[in-house]
Amino acid sequence: MTGSASPQLLRPRALRPGDLVVIASLSGPLPAIYERNVEQTVVVLERMGFRVRRAPLLEVGRHRWWSAAAPAEIAAEFNGLLRDPEVRAIVASDGGQTAFGYLDLIAFEAVKADPKPILGYSDISLLHLVLYARTGLVGFHADMAVPGFGGHWQAAPATRQAELEKLYSRLLTDTEAIGPLPASSSWECWRAGRVEGRLIGGVINRIALVQATRFAVPLEWFDGAVLFWEEIGGLASHVWTYLQVMRHCGILDRISGMVVGVPRDIAGLDSPEASPTLSEIVLDVLGDRDIPVLGNVDFGHAGPNLPMPVGLRVGLDAQQRTLSLLEPAVRPYATTPLPYLV
């Protein structure tokens, strides 16, 4: 699919009550302290009406270095889930630092034959970008088990939990467009404007790094896109540098808008006398590129994630602080598993 200026969007089949969702270790290990998060995730998914199973590598204490297992082992389990017709969705247990190690082992043909929602963020956003680039698969940049469903969701007010549960259920089962995502008071207009375009993004370093590989998203696919990104850790200067990388490789000249998630643990942003704010960093790199920028949107490492489906068309109005999903993330259950043209 690489090289096409108009990607075919591959939507997974809509989930139905009783469908099997598997929680899998696609990157990092499961420390004992996070076992409770996985157990809570099972409760959340079952409350949505799904059957839930844990993949074998998701086992407390199992690890190789910083990973749940060797990259080839993780790829083998992942490919098995992709090929298993009973498995209708895959939820990552956590992020980490492993996905780059098995991009060349992914069974892309299995994704094309039976596309499934794969949920996760952080390192999992790399999988979304690569699967989108190679197959057109809609990437469910959304919460996962740790700390997402099993942590951040549990700490949120009951009304917010109910709102998120309804939103995620619609995302996975509804073949109608969701429309406006539920906004919060944290959203900020950093540069006004109104656009429509395909969502492409993830954690900022994965966006920048994947473009240096043969699994890069074709540059022309960023034409008119709405770029979304977030970051955890590191320095404010690192964010500036990653944005400069995207400027140099041409992404910032092609996109029509930008959505920035809530930052977490970025050194320098909490000392305004020594460092610019995140909005100042973004606008500095954008320069005279007059595109709308919506900041501090609640997705990423800082708390419960609003879903940001990679590849879907969205409507962004930064001044009104709205972000709308203009098409469904899943296709009707009865249709054949063929790509949608967009």
How many helical (H) and strand (E) elements, i.e. helices and strands, does the chain have?
10, 16
Examine the residue annotation and report whether 248 is marked as an active-site residue of this protein: no
Q: Is residue 333 part of a domain?
A: no
- For the segment 316-331, what is each residue's pLDDT rounded down to a tens digit? 999 999 999 999 999 9
189 domain residue, yes or no: yes
Per-residue pLDDT, averaged over 256-265, amounts to 96
The answer to the question of residue 38 being in a domain is: yes
Name the more confident of 315 and 1.
Answer: 315
Distance, CA of 195 to CA of 157 (rounded, Å): 32
Nearest Cα neighbor of 322 from 177, 174, 195, 201 is 195
Joined tokens for residue 8: 């075919």
Q: What percentage of the chain carries pLDDT values higher than 70?
A: 95
- CB burial readout 248-285, b (16+ within 10 A) else e: ebebbebbbbbbbbbbeebebbeeeeebbebbebbbeb
Same domain, 148 and 282: no
Max Cα-Cα span within the chain: 58
Same structural domain, 171 and 320: no
Mean predicted lDDT score pLDDT of the chain: 94
179-222 confidence digits (pLDDT tens): 999 999 999 999 999 999 999 999 999 999 999 999 999 999 99
Please tell me whether residues 297 and 223 are part of one structural domain: yes
- Chosen domain end from 113, 140, 175: 175
Do residues 192 and 312 both lie within one domain? yes
pLDDT confidence bin for 149, thresholds 50/70/90: very high
Judged against a pLDDT cut of 80, whether residue 273 lies above it is answered with no
How does pLDDT run across 126-139, given as a tens digit for each residue? 999 999 999 999 99
337 pLDDT higher than 70: no
Q: What is the pLDDT of residue 214?
A: 98
Cis peptide before 147 (omega within 30 of 0): yes
d(CA 113, CA 302): 35
For residues 165 and 241, membership in a common domain is answered with no
Active site residue 109: no
Does 342 map to a domain?
A: no
41/162 same-domain check: yes
CA distance 120 to 174: 19
Supply the pLDDT for residue 3.
Answer: 45
Which residues have a Cβ under 8 Å from the Cβ of 167 and sit 6 or more positions away? 178, 181, 182, 306, 307
157 and 286 co-located in one domain: no
pLDDT given at position 269: 85
At residue 7, the pLDDT reads: 76
| 89 in any annotated domain | yes
Give pLDDT, residue 333. Answer: 82
- The helix/strand/coil state of 118 is strand
The active-site residue, picked from 122, 125, 256, 275, is 122
- Positive or negative, the Cα torsion across 5, 247, 205, 259? negative
In a domain, 341, yes or no: no
Q: What span, in angstroms and rounded, lies between the C-alpha atoms of 111 and 120?
A: 16
Structural domain ending residue among the three candidates 175, 196, 224: 175
Q: Could you tell me the CATH number of the domain that includes residue 211? A: 3.50.30.60
Q: Is the pLDDT of residue 86 over 50?
A: yes
**CATH label of the domain that carries residue 160:** 3.40.50.10740
| Spatial separation of the C-alpha atoms in residues 190 and 251, rounded to whole Å | 19
* pLDDT reading at 4 higher than 70: no
What's the residue count for the chain? 342
Tell me: do 167 and 189 sit in the same domain: no
pLDDT reported for residue 2: 44
Total domain count for the chain?
2
pLDDT of residue 6: 60
Whether residue 219 is found in the same domain as residue 315: yes
Catalytic pick among 128, 141, 152, 301 = 301
131 and 199 share one domain: no
Residue 54 shares a structural domain with residue 124: yes
DSSP assigned state of 262 = P
pLDDT at position 342 over 50: no
**122 among known catalytic residues:** yes
- Examine the fold and report which residue of 130, 156, 175 is the final residue of a domain before the chain moves on: 175
DSSP string, 203-224: EHHHHHHHTTSTTPPPGGGGTT
Determine the pLDDT at residue 5: 60
Distance between CA 87 and CA 196 in Å, rounded?
33
Q: Tell me the percentage of the chain whose pLDDT exceeds 90.
A: 92
Long-range residue pairs from 150-158, CB within 8 A, at least 24 positions apart, any chain: 150/34, 150/36, 150/37, 150/38, 150/39, 150/40, 150/41, 150/44, 151/34, 151/37, 151/40, 152/303, 152/304, 152/305, 153/40, 153/44, 153/304, 154/40, 156/303, 156/304
Distance CA 93, CA 24 (A): 6
CA–CA separation, 203 and 335 (whole Å): 33
- Domain extent, residue 260, equals 179-325
Nearest to 179 by CA among 73, 38, 329, 41: 329
pLDDT at 308 exceeding the cut of 90 = yes
Q: Is pLDDT above 50 for 1?
A: no
Instruction: Note the pLDDT tens digit of each residue in 163-178.
Output: 999 999 999 999 999 9
pLDDT surpasses 80 at 274: no
Predicted confidence (pLDDT) per residue in 92-147, tens digit: 999 999 999 999 999 999 999 999 999 999 999 999 999 999 999 999 999 999 99
Question: Does any domain span residue 339?
Answer: no
Q: What is the pLDDT of residue 341?
A: 37
| One domain, residues 33 and 126 | yes
Query: Which listed residue (77, 230, 231, 327) is catalytic?
Result: 230
Which pLDDT score, from 0 to 100, does residue 272 have? 63
Would you say residue 338 lies in a domain? no
